[in-house]
Structure 1
Amino acid sequence: MKMKSSLTSPNVGFQGRWSLRGLSRLFWPSSHKTKTEPTPEMDSALCKLLIPTDLEGDNPTLHRSAEDIQSKNFSQNLSHRDKVQSHQSSFPQAVVNGINVLCGVGLLTTPYAIKEGGWLGLLLLFSLGIISCYTGILLKQCLESTPEIQTYPDIGQAAFGIIGRLSVAIVLYVELYACCVEYITLMSDNMSSLFPNAHMNLVGLYLNPHQLFSIMTTIVVLPTVWPRNLSFLSYLSAGGVIASLLVAVCLLWVGVVDRVGFHQSGTALDLANVPVAIGLYGFCYSGHAVFPNIYSSMKKPSQFPAVLIVSFTICWVLYSGVGVAGYLMFGESIQSQFSLNLPQQLLASKTAVWTTVVNPLTKYALTINPVALSLEELLPSSQAKSYYISILIRTLLVLSTLVVALTFPFFGFVMALMGSLLTMLIALILPSACYLSIMRGRLSWFQVSVCILIILLGAMFAVIGSYSAIKRIAENM
């Protein structure tokens, strides 16, 4: 099961094709050289985020990186692409990668989203899926506008210069960091459901189950973030699709085989809480940061729109099915993660909960690593090479996620905030804005109108959804 990242962990190579090289290319220009060479896996991950933006020649569509400007032989870049193309995925493999990106932790919250927004709120899940699929195709058009664009930040730079690149990268970094916070909350909530009586008195300080397991999960994940070469985790993290399907099967097993049953309940539409549902549904489709990598990994990139359509359709079916089944099973008592409602004495329930706990353990280090690398790049070169400085930065970063998780232990509302603010930017607003900028002068009035409408819709959802989520968090503090 994957936390989005967007966040999600960008390493989605189900076939083991992408290690941290693919992850790092989300944020740094792939052509930039590294300062250190710890492993081949990490050579591009240590590249600078910010680069000069001087234009070369009369190309108005792309603010080139410093190395591209200085290069006298552009065929070197083409040669690099040829090497990349030697390890490309087929259509089914690309679909699996797409599902792995899209179908993750959001699966746990869809029953709760139905509770918040009502049954008609499922139309939002469907509509946001269509819009997000369309904006994914817009990213493809941006990638094809010039061969130098390879990642999402590249698209931002091509559209709006260094400010665009910086803005896209910051949003992606914030999403990754927020995902790590949610990982800790997710694991501690489910461990608390397994061991509700666990507690500890530490030097007069009482730790309830949630606080205790938050600290314990942080201690467990901390050693996994210290190595710079995380390829040992990338293969485990590729099982996100299997984990998501297993949890969904366990839910249905509990409802049908273990006879918890399905009971009609709920309202048609709850306007007061629809904004929270918007954020939760929006979070389900925040895979756009990784779409350029899936596109570039395909043997036939022309099939990318079909890959998106199939992936979004399958994920929509899973999200809708789990949402309907979970809400019919538990009704208004449904919690922000349906795994917390499963009867703990049942084998299927224990399987679902432990899968929910173990899977994020393999994702945390991969998700926080780009954030740590970006901070290390800000250090002087002599200090950036120090492994002890790296460990210190990563330790402080992990501890900061623990502090945030303990301060805001509201999984559903924090996810709604991420879906409303970050996902609307990554999946709706930025793709449409970049497409309008890069393709300006070549679009029909209808295409321009659609993009403007998506931007306005995304902005409206972001404002009302973020306000509602922040309000609910403040009410529960």
Structure 2
Amino acid sequence: MEVKHEGLELLDKNEKNEKSSKTISNSSSGLTVITAVLFITGEMTGSGVLALPKAVKDAGWVGIFLIFLCAAISSFTGTVLGRCWTLLCENVPALQKHCADPYPTIGMNAFGTPGRIIVNISVYFTLYGVCVVLLLIASGNIQTLLYQVGLDMSLCYWVLIIGGVLMPFCWLKSPKDFWPIALGATVTTLVACVLIFVQCILDVDKARNATMANNLAIENGDAKVFSRGFETFFLSFGMILFCFGGMAAFPTIQADMKHPQKFPKTVVFAMASILMMYVPVGAVAYGVYGDLVADNVFNSLTPGILQVVATILITMHLVFAYVIIQNPLSQVVELPLNLPDEFGLKRVLVRSSITCIVVFTAESCPRFGHILALVGGSAVTLNTFVFPSLCFWRLCHIHGKEWKSAVMPKWEIPLHILIITIGIVGGISATYSAVKNISDPEAFVPPCYVNITAASLAVGGGGGGH
């Protein structure tokens, strides 16, 4: 049965050749390939750099393979998602204008209203969860930095302060309006990765002594051996997926490009850049600190100038990335409210309300690792592994005869099946492991408004080694 497009009329064959070049090109103010790469790199990295060493620890050295695997799959499915949007832009004239919810629109055209609803829920949850994690880690980093200079202020207060400071920046219209923020997010992360790498090398002897002392404590029965198994492996899988969890914002970035058809090239360049930051930090940090590496790698580094500067840079990235990530979330929320596509009081109220909800969630669950693993194992898995392949497959099936580019190469079919299978099996397992870990009484962290002291101590600067 054909999927109805609810008012989106297809171009007929005579109009298609004449208008296709227009439908896939935005105004001169749109994003270029370079600026789009900056946005993808800026939104994905940051929290991923801090969490990857712990993720590698949970899986062992196979975690490095998981990083490459997730990067490869994200590159492929990112290009597939880009092909979906290009197909729609070439064949649905109503999409020539700015589209506030491109990913749900892809789901709508592929699977009708159920597709839009499911994709919307997944995108909402992903963007929302990422915003909470970014806010928590940024607040924890600032708490740790200022504690080193004698200012001991609760993380719970920093969540409120940073949320308030970032609120006005979230009123900007769309990514093309704040590309300098994306540049800042990417550059600060790159420099921070170099500093983290150098500090890890400098800590080799100290970390070796700490490992020997821990082994002795294990022999004496004063410490437990860190054991890997089903749960830790899939927790690692969920955390690594979270590090590549920007797929929900991909269509929004592509829709703001001058030439959306160049998005697949953009994704490949961005993933290569991200791997250059992720792999060295993840491998060296785990290689140096081993099973003692903290949830937040900054808590494993020896305090000093390199650690301080790296923390400042990553924190700058996190606040930049927060603005980038909340924007598509805001656009999706605004759409059913029929808000005017311009700056005004209604936009300020809606986007400020979203920031307040994110702040409240962060105050309610101040341990970022819990949210990171849960979102990575559930919604991010669907957005990255399942939806792109399913949507492209469906569009090719229902429009293969009328849309020239709606063709699924035969060699891609087994690859799509494999990716969807990995996504479903791995996602269910990772979500189960995350939920079980959250429900563990020993891992429970009270909300800030219940016990502000216990919440701050448990978080320990953004995650700590708890």
Q: Which residue does 1:205 correspond to in 2? A: none
| Contact residue 288 and residue 427 of structure 1 kept, 8 A | yes
Do 1:88 and 1:298's aligned partners in 2 also have CA atoms closer than 8 Å? Answer: yes
1:398 partnered with 2:355:
yes
Match in the other structure for 2:454 = none
Counterparts of 1:430-449 in structure 2, within 5 Å, are 430-440=387-397, 443=408, 447-449=412-414
Partner of 2:381: 424
Deviations 1:288-331 (A, max 9, x none): 344444498476947x5555444434423421210111223333
CA deviation string 1:261-308 (max 9, x = no partner): 664979895444111100111122223344444498476947x55554
Partner of 1:221: 166
* Structure 2 equivalent of residue 273 of structure 1: 232
The answer (yes or no) to whether the contact 2:170–2:351 under 8 Å persists in 1 is: yes
Say whether residues 1:336 and 2:295 are aligned partners.
yes
* Aligned equivalent of 1:113: 55
The partner residue of 2:129 within 178, 187, 195 is: 178
Contact 1:336 1:411 in 2 (8 A): no
8 Å CA contact 1:171, 1:426 repeated in 2? yes
CA contact (8 A) 1:295 1:301 kept: no
How far off its partner does 1:134 sit?
Answer: 2.2
Q: Which moved more, 1:354-363 or 1:384-393?
A: 384-393
1:421, distance to aligned residue in structure 2 (A): 0.8
2:47–2:318: 8 Å Cα contact kept in structure 1? no
Q: How does 1:12-27 map to 2 (within 5 A)?
A: none
Distance 1:314 1:366 in 2: 18
Q: 1:82 to 1:125 in 2, by over 3 A?
A: closer
Offset of 1:119 from its aligned partner?
Answer: 1.5
CA deviations over 1:319-358 (Å, ceiling 9, x no partner): 12101112233333322221233333x1111111112222
After TM superposition, the structure 1 = structure 2 runs for residues 125-140 of structure 1, keeping only pairs within 5 Å, are: 125-140=67-82
Per the normalisation by structure 1, the TM-score is 0.72
1:201-280 matches, cutoff 5 A: 209-226=154-171, 233-256=178-201, 263=208, 270-280=229-239
Query: Contact (CA 8 Å) 1:153, 1:168: kept in 2 or not?
Result: yes
Q: 2:422 aligns to what?
A: 457
Shift of 1:93: 6.0
Contact 1:282 1:424 in 2 (8 A): yes
Worse-matched range after superposition: 399-408 or 312-321: 312-321
Structure number with the higher helix fraction is 2
The question of 1:193 aligning with 2:144 is answered yes
Q: Which amino acid aligns with 1:113?
A: A
* Residue 93 to residue 396, structure 1, CA distance change in 2 (3 Å): closer
Matched, 1:352 2:298: no
Q: Secondary structure at the match of 2:167?
A: helix
Give the Cα–Cα distance (whole angstroms) in 1 for the partners of residues 244 and 291 of structure 2.
25
1:407 to partner: Cα distance: 1.7
Residue of structure 2 in register with 1:50 after alignment:
none
| CA apart distance, 1:85 | 7.0
Change (3 A) 1:183 1:260: farther
Identity score, percent:
22
Greater shift after overlay, 69-78 or 438-447? 69-78
In 2, Cα distance between equivalents of 1:123 and 1:380: 45
Does the CA contact (< 8 Å) of 2:47 and 2:137 recur in 1?
Answer: no
Q: Which has the higher contact order (CA 8 A, sep 6+)?
A: 2
Aligned equivalent of 2:110, options 125, 135, 159? 159
Structure 2: 5+ residue stretches without partners:
96-101, 212-224, 401-406, 445-466
Aligned: 1:285 with 2:228: no
> For 2:408 and 2:8, how far apart are their aligned partners in 1?
31
Instruction: Summarize the Cα distance change of 1:185–1:87 in structure 2 as closer, same or farther, 3 Å threshold.
Output: closer
The residue type equivalent to 1:173 in the other structure is Y
Partner of 2:437: 472
1:244 to 1:463, Cα distance in 2 relative to 1, 3 A: same
CA contact (8 A) 1:120 1:268 kept: no
Q: How far did residue 160 of structure 1 move?
A: 0.7
State the partner residue of 2:456. Answer: none
- Quote the offset at 1:83 in angstroms: 4.7
Q: d(CA) in 2 for partners of 1:98 and 1:376? A: 23
Distance of aligned partners of 1:164 and 1:408 in 2 relative to their CA distance in 1, 3 Å threshold: same
Residues 312 and 69 of structure 1: is their aligned pair in 2 closer, same or farther, counting only changes over 3 Å? closer
SS of 1:273 mapped into structure 2: helix
Does the residue aligned with 2:91 lie in a helix, a strand or coil?
Answer: coil
How far residue 210 of structure 1 moved from its aligned partner, in angstroms, is 1.9
After TM superposition, give the deviation of residue 209 of structure 1 in Å. Answer: 1.7
Q: What is the distance in 1 between the residues matched to 2:31 and 2:181? A: 20
Q: Given the alignment of the two structures, is residue 66 of structure 1 paired with residue 7 of structure 2, yes or no?
A: yes
Bigger shift: 291-300 or 242-251?
Answer: 291-300
Aligned length: 406
The one of 227, 251, 275 equivalent to 1:316 is 275
Task: Return closer, same or farther for 1:186/1:260 CA change in 2, 3 Å cut-off.
Answer: farther
Shift of 1:449: 3.4
Instruction: Decide which of 32, 40, 49 is 1:89's aligned counterpart.
Output: 32
TM-score (norm 2): 0.74
Alignment-derived partner of residue 19 in structure 1: none
Deviation for aligned residue 1:194: 1.7
Report the alpha carbon displacement of residue 365 of structure 1 after superposing the two structures with TM. 3.7
CA distance in 2, matches of 1:130, 1:272: 24
Deviations 1:77-97 (A, max 9, x none): 85464454786735x666555
AA matched with 1:131: I
Cα deviation for residue 221 of structure 1 reads 2.2
Measured against aligned partners, the alpha-carbon deviations of 1:8-38 in whole angstroms (never above 9, x if no partner) come to xxxxxxxxxxxxxxxxxxxxxxxxxxxxxxx
Deviation at 1:361, TM superposition (A): 2.6
Cα deviations across residues 225-264 of structure 1 (Å, max 9, x unaligned)?
A: 4566887754223322212111111112223457766649
| Closer/same/farther in 2, CA of residues 97 and 405 from structure 1, 3 Å limit | closer
Is 1:413 the equivalent of 2:370?
A: yes
Between stretches 369-378 and 321-330, larger displacement belongs to: 369-378
Change in 2 beyond 3 A, CA 1:125/1:168:
same
